[in-house]
Chain A
């Protein structure tokens, strides 16, 4: 290839004046891909090795946050997360039944449904998601109101939460590979994003968990399916998407000169 028109491997060799976006590419050599997956596997092993201390740290941070927010908890009890793994711990907070819900919590349920209805009426793009959330709230209200056999104490909730989040922390490096390490031309930058996402994911999990425990204490089980959906895996997906979009924003500017010549 004529070196005068070489673009340093960032675009396919062609004889055009400039690498039009239709022929742009990012160098992804086999070695690069191997390194990315090896890094992910090492991170996976590292998280796995420190799984128990990580769960303990999660509980300790959550305990601090519970104390700071004034949510009363009696104690932390050990919970089995996975067979063969040392147990984590779940908080013990009082969870009211539907009949015991305070007036405020009942009002919150009504306002929640009405608010979602208004939002779905105002923002059509939000309609389907809003309807799904309303269904979750309504089904939850009916189930918890009519069947007192459905119980979920805070300890079990802590167990379910740890079970899911531990797996998210374990698998996050692989998500990091596809979101950050491979699309980023610079390995170091990709690695930085990956670590940032991992740390943020851990801390964000503590905050979400404490919020859910607080809701469990003040509003019982009625909001839990909605919160489990919105603050569970969806939340993990959302924050990863946010990081991904910012990384694309930066990389795009760095790769193609930061020009926004034809669009926003």
Chain B
């Protein structure tokens, strides 16, 4: 081997190791966080429960339901809201019909005729997307608390009270409930996503809230104090993830976001990879945009502790782990093909690398396992090894979305814009309930069903 060749080989090996060490450090930190949160939740450390306040505080609430071509699911959510046990005199439901071209308008107007507290807002112009629709609809809201549900969600009868309860604490600016997929048996992907959601809420969100970190407001099955929202300038209509944006804005203005694990609401998760990829892409781009918008403010915030700052940065930067991991893999592959890199390593270094591979790769699965255990999930827990497929699929989709994000950012182009997640469910699927109360009936496909003809009206 010539001198120049030797230098090139040494430089390549050096570069590969630098990349591997950097990726190990970042991913190792995330792995430690996963373990910390998982075991904290497993033993229910410092539980924070607000259920004791359910019904104690009943402010006037406005429930927003953004809808864009939601005729398949609109009846279910509206009937479920009618069936909720919140005092109708203190309740206002605003279905925000955002330029639907299907039968959504007719369904919404039909409910509005029958229930005076349903006051639809039909948008025919203005910017597209959920944040823009919410900004417009908020101007006609009269509630002290704004609650939000996506159109495919079906809230249980007690959810409104549960989500309102934490607002008894004046420091609480927003509240997040738990999202539970109902179509878990419809495809392999929906089953795997249900495990992912289970970990995200039962384990991660709950542990973070218990430990005093701010929970992440997810933009649905949640609520925000109207005065807090006004104080931070309202929803950001430019953001693809207005929920994360609001979480950070509230955090930086001294408001806390509570998490109510008991406030469960059923949703439909994507059943095929195309839909999931687009959904994930939007989340990645919006989330990363928030990272760029807020990381400096988070570091500078004087009233946040170091732990809180670290948690917020971890939260904002989570999607960056995917490309970092891929870079680490590529560097390892490079080393595999360089025979000179196969020298006998020092035992502690080798142990560190294998220990990292063995333990850090498991961290996310431990989080899933802990959540599945606490949920009492049995058969679905057996699907956990298949989550590896989801893991690889997510990694690729995240890298692709980040590539698009940075490409758009570099060239100053507008990006992909809002994408509405495709629904497959139809209102009225499943067995009929005998009465409107509760309205909780699940078919074999795990659906809630409510009849718009019945109910309390």
- B35 and chain A: residue at smallest CB distance: A178
A253 to B206, CA, bound (A): 22
- Which of B247-255, B285-293, B349-357, B449-457 sits within the interface? B349-357
Q: Is the CB of A251 within 8 A of B376?
A: no
Query: With A248-B372, A249-B378 as given contacts, are A125 and B358 in contact (CB-CB < 8 Å)?
Result: no
Question: A252 contacts B378, CB within 8 Å?
Answer: yes
Given contacts A22-B178, A129-B393, A150-B337, contact A14 B388 (CB under 8 A): no
A21 to B339, CA, bound (A): 53
A264 proximal to B (CB < 8 A): yes
Chain B hits for A242, CB < 8 A: 384-385
Q: Do residues A255 and B373 form an inter-chain contact, with CB atoms below 8 A?
A: yes
Q: Are A174 and B359 in contact (CB under 8 A)?
A: yes
The size of the chain A interface, using a CB distance under 8 A, is 75
Q: Does B435 contact A (CB under 8 A)?
A: no
Q: Is A244 an interface residue (CB 8 A)?
A: yes
Complex Cα–Cα for A170 and B345 (A) = 16
Please judge, given known A-B contacts A14-B49, A82-B350, A83-B347, whether A129 and B366 are in contact too, CB under 8 Å: no
On whether A127 and B44 interact (CB within 8 A), knowing A164-B354, A167-B354, A225-B333, the answer reads no
Is A105 engaged at the interface, CB distance under 8 Å to the other chain? Answer: no
Chain A positions 5-29 with a Cβ under 8 Å from a chain B Cβ: 11-12, 14, 16, 20-28
CB within 8 Å for A128 and B397 given contacts A23-B261, A171-B355: yes
B262 in the interface, Cβ–Cβ < 8 Å? yes
Chain A 99-137 near chain B by CB (<8 Å), digits 1 or 0:
000000000000000000000000011111101100010
Q: Is the CB of A125 within 8 A of B382?
A: no
Tell me if B's interface is mostly helix, strand, loop or mixed.
helix
Known: A151-B339, A236-B358, A264-B380. A28 touches B389 (CB 8 A): no
A 236-254 to B, binary, CB cutoff 8 A, 1 in contact else 0: 1110111011101101110
Instruction: Decide if B361 is an interface residue (CB 8 Å cutoff).
Output: yes
A129, B389: Cβ atoms under 8 Å?
A: yes
A219–B264 CA distance with the chains assembled, in angstroms: 54
A258 at interface, CB cutoff 8 A: yes
Give the shortest distance, in Å, between A155 (CB) and chain B (any CB): 12
Q: Which residues of A contact B192 (CB under 8 A)?
A: 125
Is A160 close to B, CB under 8 A?
A: yes
Q: Contact partner of A183 among B42, B355, B361, B362, CB < 8 A?
A: B42
B372 contact set on A, CB distance < 8 A: 248, 252
Nearest Cβ in chain B — how far from A253, in angstroms? 6
A139 on the B face (CB < 8 A): yes
Q: How far is the CB of B378 from chain A (nearest CB, A)?
A: 5
Of B13-21, B94-102, B181-189, the one touching chain A: B181-189
B150 CB to nearest A CB, Å? 21
Could you tell me the distance between the alpha carbons of A81 and B337 in the complex, rounded to whole angstroms?
20
* Chain A residue with Cβ nearest B334: A139
> Is A168 interfacial (CB 8 A cutoff)?
yes
A182 touches B397 (CB 8 A): no
Are B344's CB and A175's CB within 8 A? no
Which chain A residues border B370 with CB–CB below 8 Å?
Answer: 183
Task: Give the shortest distance, in Å, between B177 (CB) and chain A (any CB).
Answer: 10
Asked if B365 CB lies within 8 Å of chain A CBs, one says: yes
Q: Counting CB contacts under 8 A, is B129 at the interface?
A: no
When C-beta atoms are compared, the residue in chain A nearest to B43 turns out to be: A28
Question: What is the CA–CA distance of A168 and B353 in the complex, to the nearest angstrom?
Answer: 10
Q: Which of A170, A245, A249 has the most CB of B within 10 A?
A: A245
- Closest residue to A157 on the B side, CB-wise? B342
Contact digits for B310-348, partner A, Cβ 8 Å, 1 yes 0 no: 000000000000000000010001001101001011110
Query: How far is the CB of A240 from the nearest CB of chain B, in Å?
Result: 7
A178 and B362 within 8 A (CB): yes
CA distance A85 to B396 in the complex (A): 41
Distance in angstroms between the alpha carbons of A183 and B384 in the assembled complex:
16
Q: Could you tell me the distance in whole angstroms from the C-beta of B265 to the nearest C-beta in chain A?
A: 13
**Cβ contacts under 8 Å, B47 to chain A:** 12, 23
Given A241-B362, A248-B381, A256-B376, answer yes or no on A128-B344 (Cβ-Cβ < 8 Å).
Answer: no
- Give chain B residues whose Cβ lies under 8 Å from the Cβ of A156: 342
Closest to A172 in B: B358
Is B395 part of the contact surface with A, judged by Cβ < 8 Å? yes
Q: Residue A125 contacts which of B273, B342, B347, B365 (CB distance < 8 angstroms)? A: B273
For the A-B complex with A28-B42, A125-B390, A128-B392 known, give 19 more contacts whose Cβ atoms are closer than 8 Å.
A12-B44, A12-B47, A22-B178, A23-B44, A82-B344, A124-B274, A125-B189, A127-B273, A129-B389, A136-B333, A171-B351, A179-B366, A237-B357, A237-B358, A249-B382, A262-B442, A263-B194, A264-B191, A264-B380
A-B interface, 10 closest residue pairs, ranked by CB to CB distance from nearest? A128-B396, A25-B44, A22-B261, A124-B273, A245-B384, A129-B392, A167-B354, A28-B43, A256-B376, A22-B262
